[in-house]
Amino acid sequence: MKEKVLQKFKELYGSAEGVSVYFAPGRVNMIGEHTDYNGGHVFPCALTIGTYMAVKKRADKKLRFYSLNFEDLGVLESSIEGIEPEKSAEWTNYPKGVMWAFAGRGFVMDCGLDVVVSGNIPAGSGLSSSASLEVVTGYMLREQFGFDVSNVDIALIGQYSENNFNGMNCGIMDQFASAMGKKDNAIFLNTADLSYEYAPLVLDGARILIANSNVKHKLVDSKYNERRNECETALRELQEAVAIHTLGDLTEEQFETYKSAIHDETRRKRAKHAVYENQRTIRAVEALKQKDIALFGKLMNDSHISLRDDYEVSCEEIDVLVEEAWKIDGVIGSRITGGGFGGCTVSIVKEEAVNAFIERVGAAYTEKTGKKADFYVVDIGDGPSVL
């Protein structure tokens, strides 16, 4: 991938001399979905797939961007002056949003850049291609311009830019997982205060298997922001009855005691998911520490049911992938991962069952939906780096 972006850089801009190449990973969330903007816990890990960015400073204020994933768009040009979101800027609104957010914190670029990007995360798959692009941009800006920011700052700046520049009301999980990834570990993150610990993901003869439904989700235009608003309203209603800051402050028992304060049945279901999913995530990490992978898998399954029935962010195709996975011996757990409305499932599968999983789930998926799924056996990688 590094050679690929360098080759393209040379082809487009005349020379690859003095070019730096950076990488930031995508992520998969093992459990803890739609809890990150509800003050709950999440449990993601960085992947070894992600976004590669080749960069060289210019002598003027011009920005030139090219993506090997959107070759038909060609080189998209703009300037470091007066950066604002524009429909015509297409995918470059993500890196430009990060530059805008850096400038808002007083970190101003003193020259333009030539950029070539290539990612091997399937777009719209729910594996955080946008967060990966934001984090690689933030990491690159720090390295190129000497900005005094930590990797946690890079995650926060990426989230801020996606919320305020791109209009996507995401939580912190995706950017945090990409910026703070650690090989062979998942990150147990409390999104209420950003306290975190690394937990070794020792799967003992099992692998993480991602199934891509190839149903594209466009989260900005989807129900994601609506779900967030429903939870915020439910929280305000609960706060009339109990002293809490976030839905993540409640146990299941407390939720059952106070849920009648939520005046709408749909909002009650949304809040129930946020509360129960947070507690599931805490229990899942505890199970992992006790080497109880079977319980971890059961909690993954319960997470999917809650996301399907209470949060209603699954879809027919994803449900087929999960339900077919559950039928296979050697599947420890399987659930939807990411924002929902399409995208991917994540499963923990015993090594000897991986081939059967891909064959049987793939065939059943095509038979029932008429679509083709893609499968990836993934490894857990580190955070961003210069290559």
Structure token pair of residue 278? 């947070």
- Burial of 144 from C-beta contacts in 10 A (0-12 / 13-18 / 19+): middle
Q: What is the DSSP letter of 357?
A: H
| Residue in this structure with the two tokens 């995360």, named with its chain if needed | 121
Structure token pair of residue 360? 């049987």
pLDDT given for residue 204 in this prediction: 81
pLDDT given for residue 187 in this prediction: 96
pLDDT given for residue 239 in this prediction: 97
Residue 340 inside a domain? The answer is no
Q: Count the Cβ atoms, other than its own, within 10 Å of residue 106.
A: 7
pLDDT given for residue 217 in this prediction: 63
Residue 168 inside a domain? The answer is yes
Q: What is the DSSP letter of 111?
A: S
Distance CA 244, CA 246 (A): 6
Euclidean distance between the first and final Cα of the chain, in Å? 10
pLDDT given for residue 128 in this prediction: 76
Alpha helix positions (H), 190-340: 224-239, 252-258, 265-289, 293-309, 316-326
Domain that holds residue 86: 2-33+45-182
CATH number at residue 55: 3.30.230.10
Q: Of 44, 185, 68, nearest to 120 (Cα)? A: 68
Per-residue pLDDT of the chain (387 residues; tens, 9 = 90+): 999 999 999 999 999 999 999 999 999 999 999 998 999 999 999 999 999 999 999 999 999 999 999 999 999 999 999 899 898 899 999 999 999 999 999 999 999 999 999 999 876 666 778 999 999 999 999 999 999 999 999 999 999 999 999 988 888 989 999 999 999 999 999 999 999 999 988 888 999 999 999 987 665 456 888 999 999 999 999 999 999 999 999 999 999 999 999 999 999 999 999 999 999 999 999 999 999 999 999 999 999 999 999 999 999 999 999 999 999 999 999 999 988 888 899 999 999 999 999 999 999 999 999 999 999 998 899 999 999
pLDDT given for residue 218 in this prediction: 60
- The model carries a pTM of 0.90
| Number of helical H runs and strand E runs in the chain | 11, 13
Number of domains in the chain: 1
Strands 113-119 and 62-67: parallel
Q: Which amino acid is it at 159?
A: Q
Q: Which residues pair with 77 in a beta bridge?
A: 64
Residue 93 inside a domain? The answer is yes
CB 302 within 8 A of CB 283: no
Q: Which residues pair with 3 in a beta bridge?
A: none
pLDDT given for residue 171 in this prediction: 82
SS3 state of residue 22: strand
pLDDT given for residue 168 in this prediction: 83
- Evaluated on CA atoms 263, 269, 272, 273, the torsion sign reads negative
DSSP labels, 120-154: -SPTTSSS-HHHHHHHHHHHHHHHHH-----HHHH
Residue 214 inside a domain? The answer is no
CA distances from 37 to 14, 135, 210, 357, 373 (A): 45, 19, 24, 33, 30
Residue 206 inside a domain? The answer is no
Residue 89 inside a domain? The answer is yes
Residue 54 inside a domain? The answer is yes
Give me the catalytic one of 174, 249, 302, 310: 174
Residue 332 inside a domain? The answer is no
- Whether 148 is a known active-site residue: answer no
pLDDT given for residue 220 in this prediction: 43
pLDDT given for residue 124 in this prediction: 67
